[in-house]
Amino acid sequence: MPVPAEYVQSLHPYELRILLALERLMRRYTWVPFEILKSATGFSESELTYRLGRLINMDMVRYEKTPYDGYALIFDGYDTLALHTLTKRGTIQALGTRIGVGKESEVYEAMGLGVVVLKFHRVGQRSFQAVRLKRGYMPDTGHCPWIFASSNSAKMEYEALTALHPAVSVPLPIDQNRHVVVMSFIPGVNLTQATLTEPGPILDAILDNISEAYGLGIIHGDLSEFNVMVDQEGQCWLIDWPQWVETAHPNADEILARDIRNILQYFKRKYGIDYAFDEALARVVE
Ligand SMILES: Nc1ncnc2c1ncn2[C@@H]1O[C@H](COP(=O)(O)OP(=O)(O)OP(=O)(O)O)[C@@H](O)[C@H]1O
Ligand SMILES: [Mg+2]
């Protein structure tokens, strides 16, 4: 869970400096040695010990004793850095409630220019934790994988939204920092939670949006009923874009076919609509 917003606000400038130093040093160390952190920040031993203690209590930093005294940034600390930057830029003023959670992300409401959505990408969190458990047996290779994977995933999603909006019905991309994407809030529900009185036109609209994206050179890559939302006006929205591929991708045909099949199968199962795959594909790539 991201850190409470008040933690971000109450963070001492020295603590912020430590988090930033850790972020930088974790390119080289999985566990940053105390002495390295001391020279990177320029703090006295007692100051650094005190500030690290607070960061550990706030669950932003983890300490390991073996094989040597080392410190690592963990997700709450990384969340804090992103929230700090987004607040400083004026993109958001406050973090609200959690509205969604997936395998590799957490989605929150926030106050920006009106209500906005913050998607925290969390790629490799589980494997990172597994590595952490077995850490005693791992070589200290550095290159913290979850930081790169998660920020890369956020960049990918932001890139797709920027390329697609507004031609395709996707959330408006507002900002991105580290592993966080800020986008407009969609006042609707997931397709899986809706019972459509007129499913036919929604299916058509979904296919037309896939087609529009395809025309812009982009295939969703993880499309299913779970990544479509519908609003009160009956408009559909395609969300969750980090795994998009270009239409020039070597497996593009396969990936596009899977996206389309997932949607067709859902409308067949739930609404009994028989839309032939070939016809749907032709509509998309026309
Ligand atoms: N812009 C948005 N406006 C309103 N709700 C959103 C928005 N983006 C996401 N959500 C909600 O959050 C949920 C999760 O978002 P999303 O599908 O993007 O990520 P995810 O499914 O967690 O990712 P993963 O596929 O890695 O598990 C959505 O199903 C939806 O209910
Ligand atoms: Mg999803």
From ligand 1's centre to the CA of 239, what distance in Å?
Answer: 7
> 222 catalytic, yes or no?
yes
Question: Comparing 5-184 with 189-285, is the CATH topology the same?
Answer: no
The per-residue pLDDT for 146 is 87
The per-residue pLDDT for 258 is 98
Instruction: Ligand 1: list residues with CB < 6 Å.
Output: 99-100, 102-105, 107, 117, 119, 171, 183, 185-186, 190, 227, 239-240
Contacts of 278 (CB under 8 A, 6+ apart): none
Q: Provide the residues around ligand 2 (an ion) whose CB is within 5 A.
A: 102, 227, 240
For residue 258, the SS3 value is helix
- Give the ligand at the shortest distance from the Cα of 106: 1
Q: What burial class does residue 276 get, using C-beta atoms within 10 Å of its C-beta: 0-12 exposed, 13-18 middle, 19+ buried?
A: exposed
- The average confidence (pLDDT) of the chain is 92
- What's the DSSP call for residue 176? E
Contact 210, 169 (CB under 8 A): no
Angle at 190 between CA 175 and CA 169, to 5 degrees: 50
Residue-wise pLDDT for 126-159, tens only, equals 665 555 544 443 444 556 778 888 999 999 999 9
> Which residue of 240, 241, 244, 262 sits with most ligand 1 atoms within 8 Å of its CB, as the best mutation to test the pocket?
240
Identify the band that residue 66 occupies on the pLDDT scale cut at 50, 70 and 90: confident
Fold of 5-184: Phosphorylase Kinase; domain 1 (3.30.200)
The per-residue pLDDT for 6 is 63
Residue-wise pLDDT for 243-270, tens only, equals 999 999 999 999 999 999 999 999 999 9
* Least confident range of 12-16, 40-44, 124-128, 184-188: 124-128
For atom 31 of ligand 1, which residue has the closest CA?
Answer: 100
Identify the band that residue 67 occupies on the pLDDT scale cut at 50, 70 and 90: confident
From ligand 2's centre to the CA of 22, what distance in Å?
Answer: 31
Q: Is the pLDDT of residue 187 over 50?
A: yes
The per-residue pLDDT for 212 is 98
Class of domain 189-285 (CATH, top level): mainly alpha
From ligand 1's centre to the CA of 51, what distance in Å?
Answer: 35
Segments of 141-261 assigned E as strands: 173-177, 180-184, 188-190, 218-219, 228-231, 236-238, 245-246
Residue-wise pLDDT for 88-130, tens only, equals 999 999 999 999 998 899 999 999 999 999 999 999 866 655 5
Q: DSSP per residue over 96-150, as a string? A: EEEEEE-SSEEEEEEEESEEEEEEEE-TTHHHHHHHHHTGGGS------HHHHHH
- Give the ligand at the shortest distance from the Cα of 169: 1
From ligand 1's centre to the CA of 63, what distance in Å?
Answer: 32
- Give the ligand at the shortest distance from the Cα of 121: 1
For atom 23 of ligand 1, which residue has the closest CA?
Answer: 102
Residue type, 29: Y
What ligand 1 atom has the least distance to the C-alpha of 222? 25
Q: How do the domains of the chain map onto residue ranges?
A: 5-184, 189-285
> Which element (helix H / strand E) includes 62?
strand 61-64
